Amino acid sequence: MMTLMRPIVKNAALASLILLGLIACGSDNDDMEVTTPLPPAPVNYTYEITVTNLTNAQPLSPIAIALHQAGNFWVVGESASNALEMLAEGGDNSALLADSSVIASATSTAPLGSGGRETLNVTIQDINDAKLTVATMLVNTNDAFTGVDAVSLASLSVGSSMSLYGNVFDSGTELNSEAIGTIPGPADSGEGFNKAREDTGFVSMHPGVVSMDDGLTGSVLSAAHKFDNPAIMVKVTRLE
């Protein structure tokens, strides 16, 4: 009987040693420090936007630049928003840039004269398919504005550029009377934004300036204030 018990005792001892080893290993694992991977660094997308005034005698209101992913700031044939009306009648871009769709924005601080050029930078993070909107008023008009709306920047790689051109639109919120007291620009220094709407009620391509030189009685504008399309050139370069 004693010789039969010896293998069992040896096996029991071996099992105890293995169990002690497993417990020790488990204790070591409990003491190991667990590290959490760091999140990836944000990727900046920076764009340099240069706007050139191509008109003869139409200063532009401070340039509004907005990056967004959805929506349009104007649509031909549809009613202008209050924010667009404020820009088109008085050159005030603050409401337009405060729109909830805007991810990042920039604005110049002074009017841009004929032949002038303004360069602004705007940066967003981790969004490679932003849309660009640029808007400004032709201030020697009643409610004319120009710009480009919701242009995709997804195709721009670092160092590459694109050139865009902005035609002139009529916000449809104020009659194009050209009358004294109704033009906010230096040709008149008259009224800017007025919340009353008295024109077509929808955005359209602007028919152009008539002027006193072409027989519009009471106009404060001259033939020099006429404009052709496009009114601006927009060059966009991706910097990073």
| pLDDT tens-digit series, residues 91-136 | 999 999 999 999 999 999 999 999 999 999 999 999 999 999 999 9
Distance of CA 94 to the CA centre of its chain: 13
Q: How far apart are CA 11 and CA 208, in angstroms?
A: 103
pTM greater than 0.75 (yes/no): yes
Q: Domain 44-235 maps to which CATH number in 3.40.50.920, 2.60.40.2130, 2.40.30.40, 2.40.30.10?
A: 2.60.40.2130
pLDDT at 20 over 80: no
Domain ranges of the chain: 44-235
pLDDT at 30 over 60: no
Q: How far apart are CA 219 and CA 214, in angstroms?
A: 10
Question: If you ran DSSP here, which 8-state letter would residue 138 be given?
Answer: B
| pLDDT tens-digit series, residues 173-228 | 999 999 999 999 999 999 999 999 999 999 999 999 999 999 999 999 999 999 99
Q: Who's near 176: CB < 8 A, 6+ residues apart?
A: 141, 142, 143, 170, 199, 207, 209, 210
Q: Who's near 232: CB < 8 A, 6+ residues apart?
A: 51, 52, 53, 54, 60, 134, 136, 146, 147, 165, 166
Q: Mean pLDDT over residues 50-59, rounded?
A: 98
Q: In one letter, which amino acid is 139?
A: V
Q: How far apart are CA 139 and CA 190, in angstroms?
A: 10
pLDDT at residue 31 in the model:
61
pLDDT at residue 16 in the model:
52
| pLDDT tens-digit series, residues 133-168 | 999 999 999 999 999 999 999 999 999 999 999 999
- Residue 12: pLDDT band (50, 70, 90) is low
Q: In what order do the strands lie in the sheet with 131-137?
A: 102-107, 64-68, 131-137, 144-152, 168-170, 204-205
- Residue 29: pLDDT band (50, 70, 90) is low
| pLDDT tens-digit series, residues 63-91 | 999 999 999 999 999 999 999 999 999 99
pLDDT at residue 38 in the model:
84
Q: How far apart are CA 129 and CA 153, in angstroms?
A: 6
pLDDT at 1 over 50: no
Buried b (16+ CB within 10 A) or exposed e, 88-101: bbbbbbebbbebee
The three-point CA angle 183-83-141 to 5° equals: 20
